[in-house]
Amino acid sequence: MRDGRVRGARGAVGNHRSNVNAGYTQLSVRTERRDDRVVVRVSGDLDHDSAPAVQAALEPDTANGIRQFDLDLSGVTFIDSGALQVFIAAHRALQELGGGLHVVAASPVVARILDLTRLGEMFGG
């Protein structure tokens, strides 16, 4: 602590705002098809700017029977409401097609947010 500010993982917290990209971790999205489902592995910072990359990975492929998605969020270092909105919309769209979106692994940061928002129940957590 210096100058009355507490340093957090994303920069200074307190009276002064940090640079937008201070502490930012590049997003990585990888997909792997497993039978009738797709595993989507996400790592890095997941916010409203990077969420569209995850949204694209969660598109159902009805022609090939893909309606089930497993999210591995164990490598996510930051998550905001923009990402949660993407997950909720994808889950609802997949449910309408008889599928679903399930969080199969979560970093401590994500697990805490899912618990606080009670979205863990929606995503099978």
Would you list the domain boundaries of the chain? Answer: 25-117
Q: What is the pTM of this model?
A: 0.78
How many C-beta neighbours within 10 Å does residue 45 have? 21
On whether the CB atoms of residues 31 and 39 are closer than 8 A, the answer is yes
Contact between 101 and 123 (Cβ < 8 Å): yes
Residue range 25-117, CATH number: 3.30.750.24
Q: Tell me how many degrees the CA angle 5-14-42 measures, rounded to the nearest 5.
A: 105
pLDDT in tens, 12-66: 333 333 344 456 678 999 999 988 899 999 999 999 889 999 999 998 887 788 8
Q: CA–CA separation, 70 vs 101, rounded Å? A: 6
For residue 2, pLDDT beyond 50: no
